[in-house]
């Protein structure tokens, strides 16, 4: 990963505010990158600076209305990828197609979906990584250590319990700005199948 001028400036800016950048080189030209914990609006500003400091072309997905005039140019310049709103499975298919047609593609997703405490992660990143057959990059922010970056990449096996045990192990000890807003690293349990049967 070569460093551009803007990359070097971003690294110096992080250092000036006492932050260290921790980046494990990618194991693949493609990955779904998750970011945890997300507990403060400050995560965005520190994260954007860190994104500039990492020599990876990291993208994000947004609703297609963000890519209409006058926001289109700005959204695309920040790495945005338009996704048509609809069923979750359809969005996963759209993004999996993006992975399929690109030689190199890193897509960042916040699995909590909010800076407030949640009782589970959203499953989109997991289903997307499996569908696109790409590893998951483990991005983090740690306020006590004042570290931010990508600590490694995990190849999913498709066994939810095993995969999330590995993710929890990787993020152990990583603390956000407001620890009480950090939710558990797990998915919502699948809804129970209906016991109603057609007896006709």
Model confidence pLDDT, tens digit, residues 168-183: 999 999 999 999 999 9
Tell me if the bond preceding 155 is cis, omega within 30° of 0.
Answer: no
The 10s digit of each residue's pLDDT in 90-134 is 889 989 999 999 999 999 988 987 888 899 999 999 999 999 999
Residue 146 located in a structural domain: yes
Per-residue buried b or exposed e for 154-166, using 16+ beta carbons within 10 Å of the residue's own CB: bebeeeeeebbee
- More confident position, 85 or 180: 180
Residue 193 located in a structural domain: no
Domain with 60, as residue range(s), is 5-181
Residue 88 located in a structural domain: yes
CB distance 92 to 124 below 8 Å: yes
Residue 194 located in a structural domain: no
Tokens representing residue 4 in the block: 């551009």
Average pLDDT over every residue of 50-66: 80
CB distance 35 to 149 below 8 Å: no
Q: What percent of the chain has pLDDT over 90?
A: 60
* 143: helix, strand or coil: coil
At residue 191, the pLDDT reads 54
Dihedral angle, C-alpha 142, 105, 115, 10, nearest 10 °: 50
Q: What are phi and psi of 51, to 5 degrees?
A: -60, -40
Residue 39 located in a structural domain: yes
Q: Tell me how many domains the chain contains.
A: 1
Residue 200 located in a structural domain: no
Tokens representing residue 54 in the block: 């990492």
The 10s digit of each residue's pLDDT in 32-55 is 999 999 999 999 889 889 988 987
Residue 17 located in a structural domain: yes
CB distance 74 to 66 below 8 Å: no
Beta bridge partners of 81: 61
For residue 31, is pLDDT > 80?
yes
Residue 197 located in a structural domain: no
């Amino acid at each position: 990963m070569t460093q551009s001028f803007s990359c070097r400036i971003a690294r110096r800016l992080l250092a000036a505010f006492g932050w260290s950048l921790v980046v494990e080189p990618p194991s693949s030209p493609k990955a779904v990158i998750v970011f945890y914990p997300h507990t403060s609006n400050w995560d965005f500003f520190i994260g954007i600076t860190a994104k500039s400091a990492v020599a990876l072309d990291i993208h994000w997905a947004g609703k297609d209305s963000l890519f209409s005039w006058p926001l289109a140019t700005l959204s695309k310049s920040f790495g945005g990828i338009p996704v048509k709103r609809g069923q979750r499975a359809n969005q996963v298919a759209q993004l999996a197609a993006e992975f399929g047609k690109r030689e190199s593609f890193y897509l960042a997703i916040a699995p909590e979906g909010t800076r407030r405490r949640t009782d589970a992660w959203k499953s989109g990143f997991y289903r997307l990584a499996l569908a696109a057959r790409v590893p998951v990059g483990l991005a983090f922010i740690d306020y006590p250590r004042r570290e931010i970056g990508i600590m490694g990449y995990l190849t999913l096996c498709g066994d939810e319990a095993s995969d999330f045990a590995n993710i929890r192990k990787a993020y152990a000890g990583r603390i956000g700005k407001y620890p009480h807003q950090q939710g558990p690293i797990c998915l919502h349990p699948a809804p129970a199948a209906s016991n109603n049967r057609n007896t006709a």
